[in-house]
Structure formats: C-alpha cells, structure tokens
Chain A
Amino acid sequence: MCTYVVEKTPLAGSGRNAEGWFVLTEASVSYDHPFHAPVEHAVNIDFTNVAAGPSARVAVELTAESARALIAAIEEAIERGQEVERRELEASESYATR
C-alpha cells in the first residue's frame, strides 16, 4: 500500500552522491514502499537539496527495527562526541588560565 506518511526536517550539512559532495538542505523520512529494500514498507530517508534537482539525493531504505537502532546509534554518538568536546574545552580553558 502507499501510506503517504512523510516527515521532513531542514538540515545543515553535506551529502555525497555518485557525482560528489553537495550541500544538504532537507531530510525526508517516509514510511512507505521502498525502491530496493526487500520489504513492503521501509523507513526511507532521503537527504536532499531540492533546489539542485532529483539527483541531489542520498537515500537509505531501512527496516523499522534498523531505523530505531540507527536513531539510538546517532543519539549515542552525539552524546559521546559532545562529551569529548566539552572535556577538551574545559581542558583548554584550564590551560589558558594557568
């Protein structure tokens, strides 16, 4: 079935397709028919720059379970990465005040 379930969010970052890197402006997350994944419905994530045309797209099609695991991995990476950044900042501030 076609669910037409789509959620969008603006993005800041870059994506890479077959032609090279491009500026990302948006992500669309749909729960609908995939083009390639062998399931009836997938979590389809398109990282896009709509103004640059249809080929400015980085696509993934994930099972719902995989998508949830990805969300958890992203959250974990952000948390750990920002913790490292915070410690580095504290260390540099401490060094500067000596």
Chain B
Amino acid sequence: MPRTTDQYQAIQAETIILDGHGGDPIRAFYARPLGAGPFPSMVLIHHMPGWDDWYKEVTMKFAYHGYATLSPNLYERFGHGAPDDVAAMARNAGGVPDETVVGDIDASIRFLKAQPNTNGKTGLWGTCSGGRHGYLAACKLDNVDAICDLWGGGVVMREEDLTPARPASPIDFTADLTAPVLGIFGNDDRNPTPEAVDQQEAALKQHGKQYEFYRYDGAGHGFFYDNRPAYRQEQATDAWPKVWAFLSKHLS
C-alpha cells in the first residue's frame, strides 16, 4: 500500500559500533524507523567497492520502507580512510575473508534481534560480492529469516577460483539453507552467468528450498546502481517492488 501524504514518517540514521566477528569492534550504519514498532529488520551486505555512500543511502531507503536496517563495515579491519581507499586495501589483499564476513553478519543479526522495537525476524540483502556473502551466511547461520541475493557473483565457484579468503563455493552449502531466497539477476551478467544462475536454481530445487528468482533481459551486473552506467531504470523499477513484496511476506 502506498503511503499517503498525511501520514507521519520519521527515520533515524547514524554510525554505531558493535562487537563483530571475534569480538572486534566494527562500525555499522544503522537506519531505522522511529516508533515502538515492532519493525522487521535487515542486514545490508555491502559490495566489493566497499562501505560507500550508495550502501548507506540504500540503508536509509530500507528504513524508509519500515525496516530497522544495519549495514556493517565489512572492511573495518583494513583501516579507515575514504571508502574507495579502504576498498582498494581489501581488493589488493585478495578480498575480505568469508569467515570474518559471516561473523560480522551474525553479530549484526544478533544486534538487531536484541532491539526492543524489532519483531525478531531479520533478512539479508546484498549485491555483487554482498549477494554471495549473504547466500553463504544464510547457509551457515541459523538466525536468518530471508535472503535477497542480487547478482551475487561467485555463489557457484570453480575449484581453481577458490582462495584463502574464499575457500569454498557457497552453492555447496545449499542443503543447510533455512531461509527463503529471493534472487535477482541480469541476463547479460558475466558473473553470475545465466548458466551459473541455472546451477544455483537447480541446487535450491534439488534440496527443496523456498526461492523466487527474477531474471532480467537487457540488464547486466549491478543494474540497481543508479550512479553507474550499468543502471537499468526499467528493470530496476520492476525489481524493487519484488524485494519489498518478498520481505513483507517473510519478515512481517
């Protein structure tokens, strides 16, 4: 239901510090509706370009739509500076380790579920590497209630692509998945390719998991990024309502 113009709305957004993986203090951007709630909650898992303005703005978008939303800085341990400088540190180190990311996501979920005005249901949402990390976390953790994987490249990995930071292919843990999955993909993407998405869907089907996949022609990787040439207005405006419908169905 669209909001009406006479409706009062208020959100609050700020940087907080919480105990992440291994008890490490990490920063997170926390945006939430004001009020008693109870509100469903979301963890936004940033992409390879880092904990940047786009992710913080989308964190506020989720709060606007009624979700207490936390976006943890997964690159906290690489130091501080401009987001692209920090992301370059992570990139040049071979990426952030999966284990650390899953631990930080777990800590974020626990933080949200402990808030007095949340409803105890928490979803994950990530794009690009964040989609892969979200899928992996949803397989590894037992406290995820919904997962949105947006063009998560590397959910299906070849043996030769495994690295110390990414030692396993997330698809191999699909049997352990307990949350429903929303997948949004562009058919012109090269990672994940349509064939990789087929494999992911086959694994979900094989293990009897609940999922919805939407695959868009005329779109490639990152077609929600309205600050990049990859943005595809028609496909993105079709897909965003699918995100809200999926989350409303599973987190309300």
Which residues of A are in contact with B by a Cβ distance under 8 Å?
1-4, 6, 8, 28, 30, 32-33, 35-36, 38-40, 44, 46, 48, 50, 53-55, 57, 59
Contacts and interface: CB of A to CB of B under 8 A. Distances in A.
A30 B49 CA distance: 13
Interface residues of B, number: 34
Contacts, number: 75
Interface string B57-91: 00000000000000000000011111011111101
Contacts of A2: 48, 95, 128-129, 153-154, 191
A28 B88 CA distance: 9
Nearest to B153: A1
B74 to A, nearest CB: 13
Interface of B: 48-49, 78-82, 84-89, 91-92, 94-95, 128-129, 153-154, 161, 163, 166, 189-192, 220-222, 228-230
A78 to B, nearest CB: 25
A32 B49 CA distance: 10
A30 B87 CA distance: 12
Nearest to B91: A30
Given A53-B79, A54-B86, A55-B81, A4 B92 contact: no
Contact of A40 (B78, B94, B221): B221
A32 B48 contact: yes
Contact of B163 (A4, A32, A35): A4
